[in-house]
Amino acid sequence: MNYIVLDLEWNQSDTGEEPEVKIMPFEIIDIGAIKLNENRAMIDEYNQLVKPVVYRHMHKITGNLIHLHMKDLEKGKAFPEMMREFLDWCGEDFIFCTWGPLDLYELQRNMHYYEMEPLSGKPIRFLDIQKLFSIAYEDKKSRRSLEYAIDYLKIEKDIPFHRAFSDAYYTAQILTVLEESVLANYSIDTYILPRTRQEEVHVLFQDYMKYISREFPDKQKAMEDREVISTKCYLCHKNLRKKIRWFTPNGKHYYSVSVCPVHGYMKSKIRIRKSERNQVFVIKTSKFISEEGYQKMIQKRSQAREHRKSKKQ
């Protein structure tokens, strides 16, 4: 299996000049990629400007960051032509790798705008190198800039940042130094969602469980679904008694704590997300916590109740 380390630059509506196209708010104008073999040795590269169709004015912030002008992009290839060429270059057996979770999602949005066949009919596994850097070297929660990570690892900065190819190159450099065990913590892109209950995603990682649901018409329907609100021990697969029932501090995130007689307290978190079809889906994570973590959740529930009371008053 090869690794395709991908980076994109995109343009967007320049306020006052042209309206935003809702199905493609970010138009890809530059793509860079590095191909690594199964041993994570660099074996090939891809770099291409993309001729814009939707946004014909360069957003000021984008232009200042990437130092590209519209006249430069006129030399680029049309997106469908570039995309077919790029996928041919990727080959058959590979996994995408990106710095952060956005590039793969926006790539698929652009493909959908041009009515191209999707990359997959289900959620795509990929490696978020930004997340993996945090897992390997920090607290698993931080999300650092690419340049910070390069400086931290003392990797030579021999080309400028903020162009697609250079950022793909630096991301690939970081990938080559990560421990093999860290790569097990893959991410799942949710541009394409499970279509049925049978296709829903259940993944067990080293210290937590992740569930991705199919779409629901609204949040209420999602929170009525048995699988969404279930709390099973992901180690012994038993239904657990809830010590703290589902509550929400903000209407978007829901929390509960259950107890397994064998493995202890298990905290579950539900995030309600909007889908591309203006419906909702759920990402649920479950993880075992300590007594201290349980007490923090009691406090969090109390704060949520106080917040609701103050809003009613």
Same structural domain, 112 and 26:
yes
Q: Please report the pLDDT score of residue 60 as a whole number.
A: 82
Measure the CA–CA gap between 239 and 221, rounded to whole angstroms.
Answer: 22
Q: 174, 152 in Cβ contact below 8 A?
A: no
14 pLDDT band (50/70/90 cuts)? confident
Residue 244 β-bridge partners? 257
Distance separating the N- and C-terminal Cα atoms of the chain: 59
Range of the domain at 307: 195-312
Asked if residue 222 is part of any domain, the answer here is yes
Looking up tokens 């349980």 gives: 294
Residue 190 within a domain: no
- Within a domain: 189: no
Number of structural domains, the chain? 2
Tokens, residue 73: 């992009």
Between CA 183 and CA 211 the distance in angstroms is 19
pLDDT of residue 59: 86
Query: Looking at residue 7, what is its pLDDT?
Result: 98
Which uninterrupted H or E stretch holds 188? strand 187-189
Element (H, E) at 223: helix 219-224
Same domain, 89 and 121: yes
Residues 6+ apart with CB under 8 A from 56: 18, 70
The answer to whether residues 90 and 111 belong to one domain is yes
**Same-domain status, 6 and 141:** yes
Give the distance from CA 217 to its chain's centroid. 23
Does 162 have pLDDT greater than 90? Answer: no
Q: Point out the domain boundary residue: 184, 215, 240.
A: 184
Same-domain status, 268 and 287: yes
Domain shared by 282 and 305, yes or no: yes
> Which pLDDT score, from 0 to 100, does residue 313 have?
67
What pTM, to 2 d.p., does this model score?
0.92
pLDDT digits (tens, 9 = 90+) for 245-294: 999 999 889 999 999 999 999 999 999 999 999 999 999 999 999 999 99
Query: In 10 A of CB 122, how many CB atoms?
Result: 14
pLDDT digits (tens, 9 = 90+) for 89-146: 999 999 999 999 999 999 999 999 999 999 999 999 999 999 999 999 999 999 999 9
